[in-house]
Amino acid sequence: MFARPVISRMDSERAHSMAIRSLSGFGQSSIGLRTLDALYQSPELPTHVFGRLFRHPLGLAAGMDKGAAALSAWPALGFSWVEYGGITRFPQDGNPKPRMFRADAEQALVNSMGFNNPGASSVRDQLIQRRASGKWPNVPVAANIGRSKKVDNEQAPADYSATLEALWDHADMFVLNISSPNTPGLRDLHEESSLSSVLKACNSVKEMKGGGKTMLLKLSPDASDEDLLSSSHEALRNGIDGLVATNTTLKRPVPKNTKSRHAFAQNGGVSGRPLQERSLEVVSMLYESTGGKVPIVGVGGIDSTESAWNSLTSGASLMQIYSALVFKGPSVVSDIVRGLRARVRESGFSSIEEAVGYNNT
Ligand SMILES: Cc1cc2nc3c(=O)[nH]c(=O)nc-3n(C[C@H](O)[C@H](O)[C@H](O)COP(=O)(O)O)c2cc1C
Site to substitute for ligand 1 among 66, 113, 160, 271, most atoms within 8 A of C-beta = 271
Question: Do residues 215 and 176 touch, judged by C-beta distance below 8 A?
Answer: yes
Question: Do residues 289 and 268 touch, judged by C-beta distance below 8 A?
Answer: no
Query: Which H/E stretch holds residue 203?
Result: helix 192-209
CA distance 3 to 7: 6
User: Is the CB of 177 within 6 Å of ligand 1?
Assistant: yes
User: Is the CB of 322 within 6 Å of ligand 1?
Assistant: yes
113-142 burial by CB neighbour count: b if 16+ within 10 A, else e?
bbbbbbbbeebbeebeebeeeebebebbbb
Catalytic residues: 180
Long-range contacts of 31-38 (CB under 8 A, 24+ apart): 32/73, 33/72, 33/73, 33/76, 34/76, 36/73, 36/76, 36/77, 37/76
Query: Could you tell me the fold of the domain covering 4-360?
Result: TIM Barrel (3.20.20)
Site to substitute for ligand 1 among 87, 111, 117, 248, most atoms within 8 A of C-beta = 248
Between the CA of 24 and the centroid of ligand 1 the distance, in Å, is 20
- The domain segmentation of the chain, as residue ranges, is 4-360
Which residues in the chain belong to E strands, given as ranges?
47-49, 52-54, 58-60, 81-87, 100-103, 108-111, 141-145, 173-177, 214-219, 242-245, 269-272, 296-299, 316-321
Provide φ and ψ at 24, rounded to 5°.
-60, -40
User: Is the CB of 319 within 6 Å of ligand 1?
Assistant: no
| pLDDT tens, per residue, the chain with 361 residues | 455 544 455 688 998 999 999 899 888 888 999 999 999 999 999 999 999 999 999 999 999 999 999 999 999 999 999 999 999 999 999 999 999 999 999 999 999 999 999 999 999 999 999 999 999 999 999 999 999 999 999 999 999 999 999 999 999 999 999 999 999 999 999 999 999 999 999 999 999 999 999 999 999 999 999 999 999 999 999 999 999 999 999 999 999 999 999 999 999 999 999 999 999 999 999 999 999 999 999 999 999 999 999 999 999 999 999 999 999 999 999 999 999 999 999 999 999 999 999 998 7
